[in-house]
Structure 1
Amino acid sequence: MATQEKDKKLEIINFVSETNDSGLINAIHEFLQDFTRHGDFWEDLSDNEKTKIEEGLEDIREGRITPHEEVKEKYGL
């Protein structure tokens, strides 16, 4: 395991052990339960959703994108 990863783990452990924010502790706990229960979100997606994501990633790789600022300007945002 890389040193950076170990440092991150220790930082998380220290942060959680030092906080008194029960809302934060509950949110972290809930996140961890959901994450371990569901694992990789990819497995929860339908085949159609996976296909659309892959198509979007291919569009990005091929440069078929429109910059955010251009879209905002086009729609007056």
Structure 2
Amino acid sequence: MNTDLQIQNKKLELIQWLSTIEDLHILDKISDMISCERKKDWWDDISEAEKRSIEKGIAQADAGKLNPHSKARKIYGKRI
């Protein structure tokens, strides 16, 4: 069975199961889980190297080590 068909079948199974639930506590838990998934932070999905790079940039900005846009233009030219 191809993956797309498996996914569609699983969705239908879940929809059918969900439609039979009468326990408000369970429905609230499912709603909370869905809300948490929607609020997922991009920070959790980036690599450690990317996090270190961002943190380094924030530290430099906090220390006042900023360059104006005009200087970046001179350094990087048309790439930005």
TM-score (structure 2 length as normaliser): 0.48
Who wins on radius of gyration, i.e. which is larger?
2
TM-score (structure 1 length as normaliser): 0.49
